[in-house]
Amino acid sequence: MAGWSCLVTGAGGFLGQRIIRLLVEEKELQEIRALDKVFRPELREEFSKLQSKVKLTLLEGDILDEQCVKRACQGTSAVIHTASVIDVFNIIPKETILNVNVKGTQNLLEACAQASVPVFIYTSTMEVAGPNSYREVIQNAHEEEHRETRWSSPYPYSKKLAERAVLAANGWALKNGGTLYTCALRPPFIYGEGSPLLYGFIDHALKNNGVLTHNSKLAIVNPAYVGNVAWAHILALRALRDPRKVLNIQGQFYYISDDTPHQSYDDLNYTLSKEWGFCLDSRMSLPISLKYWLGFLLEIVSFLLSPVYQYRPPFNRHVVTLLNSVFTISYKKAQRELGYEPLFSWEKAKQKTMEWVGSLVEQHKETLKTKTH
């Protein structure tokens, strides 16, 4: 298997970048193909520094473009598919989410079969399993329970369909007579330097005198650090390329978490930013049951207005459930079968993320200075 190559989709994204930084260290890897719709200039510069270790080809293109996907897969040994539209708050049109997350994944699977790419790893999400109800307490969920989301919200629904397609493609015959081996990884909320969601919370707080909004006081979740989630992808790639391990791992999905303490999203945001003077909003919030039914009413309003106006509610029942549930996952199966152990401790992950939050605070101060001069 000497001299192999790997295609990473969503390579310019929060997780994709981290996978590439770890991938360059892999043995006998000759080329990484990094596919994304666009690469920011500073990322191009960072990736160019990795060229000394391995050939890194940047491909700007869309996974909905079948020809682009075919070209990207040609002569590749493995695909790590992280590209996806992530939309927790239902801001993006449903068609866009389903197109990219489901159709884009199907395009890639078909291209792999045609180009005889034997390994396919899919970045799924914990949300394909739940939470389904804020009243239900799920702790250390594991793969044997076969949990499934009942929400029809575009993001979890599209990821569920895409994951299903990936696992069903395991065992497909390839054009050269080989076999396609697939697996899916289900991380929870991913935090770390560069997190778009965390950036949104911090940016909002900076404009609000350092007060963090509180949406999820009662939730208990286990977020995972981006470096650890990226590491799990590398281990899944090694396992699917290893003739001794592949038979156990093919067609499987794995929950990926780490040793970040179980806490609410609010507490995580506060922990990562309190050193810089941020505080949580102390005002009373509505009871969850009331917020849930208010979300339902907003959904009805949105539905009734839909023939004449696209009204996007500030929240809905799915968002209320997601932000207020006790839902944690266990990474024991990934530990057993992939040899997964977190690469970064909670202390290290916290320190790195806090430093990044500090840099955002400094940038904000500089911007304010510029405006006043």
231: pLDDT strictly greater than 50: yes
Euclidean distance between CA atoms 154 and 117, whole angstroms: 29
2: pLDDT confidence band, cut at 50, 70 and 90?
low
Yes or no: say if 16 and 34 are a contact pair by the CB < 8 Å rule: yes
**pLDDT confidence of residue 285:** 84
**pLDDT confidence of residue 373:** 66
Rounded to 5 degrees, φ, ψ at 324 are: -130, 20
372: pLDDT strictly greater than 80: no
190: pLDDT strictly greater than 60: yes
Give the residue from 200, 340, 304, 184 showing the smallest Cα distance to 249: 184
Structure tokens that stand for 154 in this block: 């575009």
- As a whole number, mean pLDDT of residues 335-358 equals 98
Euclidean distance between CA atoms 361 and 358, whole angstroms: 5
Structure tokens that stand for 62 in this block: 């869309």
- As a whole number, mean pLDDT of residues 159-187 equals 98
The pLDDT > 90 percentage for the chain reads 88
Yes or no: say if 156 and 353 are a contact pair by the CB < 8 Å rule: no
Is residue 155 annotated as part of the catalytic site, yes or no? yes
- As a whole number, mean pLDDT of residues 51-79 equals 96
Yes or no: say if 265 and 322 are a contact pair by the CB < 8 Å rule: no
pTM here is: 0.96
Yes or no: say if 100 and 82 are a contact pair by the CB < 8 Å rule: no
- Arch. (CATH architecture) of 4-195+223-259+329-344: 3-Layer(aba) Sandwich (3.40)
- As a whole number, mean pLDDT of residues 349-365 equals 96
- As a whole number, mean pLDDT of residues 325-338 equals 97
Catalytic, out of 122, 155, 157, 292: 155
38: pLDDT strictly greater than 60: yes
Structure tokens that stand for 28 in this block: 């006998």
Least confidently predicted of 124-128, 208-212, 334-338 = 208-212
